[in-house]
A and B are shown apart, each in its own frame.
Chain A
Amino acid sequence: MHALEINSLSKRFGRVHAVRDVSLVVEHGQIYGLLGPNGSGKTTTLACALGLLRPDSGTVRILGEAGARIARTKGRVAAVFDRATLVPRLSVLRNLNYARSLLGHKGGRSATDCLRMVGLEEHRRQRADRLSLGQSRRLSIARALLGKPELLVFDEPLSGLDTLGVLEMLELFKDLHAQGLTLLLSSHRLHEMERIVTHAGVVQGGKVLRSEPLSQLLGLSKKPYRLRAEPQALVSQTLEAVPGLGVSLHGTDGQWEFDLGALNPSDLVQALVQAGCAVSEFAPKVESLQSVFESLLKNEGARS
């Protein structure tokens, strides 16, 4: 059974096609990032998955239950929304007790445990409307951790947080993942998400352009390298002569990018030097999620 399975999900708001034929699978133990710019359909997809919106077509199964019947998961799914959704005049602890009463299940993590996990223990008596944004977000997460959730869904968890807040939040996500929880995060902050997600779905215009493990998405199974050397003719000649080198791309201004494949980097540098080439730069080319996203957008634009 998948943690979440979405098949051909579509949702329109009047003339706006918010989600178009989205399909994706989140397995247990993953940190899945649903990534894309604002207005790309992430939140609508999550709302349909959580049974908060009725999709026009398609199916959703969350921990084996249909999205509309999420109540049957008996608290094994917990969601944290971009707005803190706290009861403003109640204290931190009372907010958790309120959620616990709603949850109704005995056992699992206690309110104190949850506060400790998110580092809010000292603020337990403080009113919720007097917390900072980061603290409110942490309280929302503490509330989500009550009971025994297996799948945590976060909608834009980093929005509005400062640099330190973002770093703390990313650490918290890592901790939660290490404790065996499955996380589904929607965010437009690709750079930060790249540091924690294990799998990613890139969303644009209501469509999932790609949904893969992060390593695959970034092409980390390959070994892309960048070379800067002179003279160009000699370098080209040398590279072509190297057996087992992947597709060589002849760049401009004395720059080449290629897949090293099974070849040892030092062997290639040695061959170039022995051939009389002056190597000024030879380094692995690191793809970022941002660059992958941009190239996906370019491809999508060209296709349409």
Chain B
Amino acid sequence: MGSWRVFRAEWERLLFRKTTWACALLLSALAGGRVFAGYLSERASRARTIQERLMSGADAPGDFETIGAYAPLVDGLSAGLTLATLLLLMIAARSLAADRESGLLRLASTRSCSRSALVLGRILTGVPLVLGAFASCFAGAWLVAGFYYEYGPVLEDGYELASEEYLLEQLSLAAWASLPALLSIWSFGILISSVAKTAAGALCTALAIFLGFDLFKEVLGASHYWVFASFAPSIVDTSAMSEMGGIARGHSDAILEVGLLRMNYIVTGAEAFLFVILACLFMNRKAL
């Protein structure tokens, strides 16, 4: 009950903050902007091809093969989710630490909220935030991709490389794989927040660890998949959404491996659970 109360209070607090809505808009704009940038780049590439052909005395090509809307949609979604990962991490890392700094945790704990409830309530707050972030990115990318491209199968020289049903199925698999990864990122941020003394310290620590791992994860080879952060969309992306980009372009070697997907769910779920337990333990031991 205590966790539910904390969740409700936190959710209301987030809803009434302009920053929350600004973040949602930013995610949509970034996802849509990425699609638009891809479209501009494609148009520029076509113009260059036409110019080169004309300068060499050949006829301009009459028609170009279109890639369909799913590839730009995935690109936009990936870009949006990369920013969403960082935003979620920052919001989570700030969460408890900032409230400890301002004394709000003292208030909450003296008003019938246990310390574990303070952690669990904030973990719960992550669920609608993750869903909201995903929805914002998807909406932005889907609208802009639909405006400039046509949703349909992936074609090459008239042959269907991937049907629309297959693409939708793979896209939903990639999306479902991203959500627990984002939740584990949120839990990691809450863990850092429960340990850190200040909000600034929590923010810097969380970002340093996450980005540090992101930049060096390839050094670890395949074993980096034992770390939750490998499955979250990021700058050096190794998540399911990155593979989905290849599938949406009809790359024959692109595939969402069942083993890796299973690992995605298990590793992110187990590590998120561990982070929650640790956050509760730290919270119960720390002075408020």
Contact = CB atoms under 8 A, between A and B. Distances in A.
Contacts of A98: 9, 12-13
A74 B112 contact: yes
Interface residues of B, number: 26
A97 interface: yes
A219 B202 CA distance: 53
Given A71-B109, A83-B102, A143-B107, A101 B5 contact: yes
Interface in A63-77: 70-75, 77
Of the listed residues B2, B8, B110, B117, the one surrounded by the most CB atoms of chain A closer than 10 A to its CB is B110
B108 interface: yes
Contacts of B5: 101-104
Contact of A81 (B2, B6, B103, B117): B103
Interface residues of A, number: 35
Contacts of A85: 102-104, 106-107
Nearest to A13: B287
Contact of B106 (A71, A81, A90): A81
Contact of B8 (A78, A89, A101): A101
A94 B111 contact: no
A79 interface: yes
A185 to B, nearest CB: 16
Interface in B70-111: 102-104, 106-111
B106 A87 contact: no
Contacts of A51: 109-110
A52 interface: yes
A51 B113 CA distance: 12
A79 B113 contact: no
B2 to A, nearest CB: 7
Contacts, number: 83
Interface in A89-112: 89-90, 94, 97-99, 101-105
B169 to A, nearest CB: 41
A81 B17 CA distance: 24
A143 to B, nearest CB: 7
B108 A102 contact: yes
A298 B280 CA distance: 47
A51 B111 CA distance: 11
B102 A52 contact: no
Contacts of B17: 89-90
Contacts of A71: 2, 109, 112-114, 117
A84 B287 CA distance: 18
Contacts of B13: 87, 90, 98
A206 to B, nearest CB: 17
Given A73-B112, A102-B111, A104-B5, A79 B12 contact: no
A143 B103 CA distance: 14
A168 B112 CA distance: 29
Given A71-B114, A102-B6, A90 B104 contact: no
A103 B8 contact: no
B159 interface: no
A51 B108 CA distance: 12
A203 interface: no
Given A71-B2, A83-B102, A52 B110 contact: yes
Nearest to A62: B110
Contacts of B6: 102
Nearest to A73: B112
A208 interface: no
A301 B163 CA distance: 90
Nearest to B1: A104
> By CB atoms of chain A within 10 A, which of B13, B103, B104, B112 has the most?
B112
Given A71-B2, A85-B103, A101 B110 contact: no
A70 B106 CA distance: 11
A59 B16 CA distance: 41
Nearest to A100: B9
Given A97-B12, A98-B9, A102-B9, A79 B107 contact: yes
4 tightest CB-CB pairs across the interface, nearest first? A85-B103, A101-B9, A104-B5, A79-B110
8 contacts: A50-B106, A70-B112, A71-B2, A77-B110, A81-B106, A101-B8, A102-B113, A103-B5
Interface of B: 1-2, 5-6, 8-9, 12-13, 16-18, 102-104, 106-114, 117, 287-288
Given A52-B288, A102-B112, 13 more contacts: A51-B109, A52-B287, A79-B106, A79-B107, A84-B103, A85-B104, A85-B107, A87-B13, A90-B17, A99-B9, A102-B111, A103-B5, A104-B5
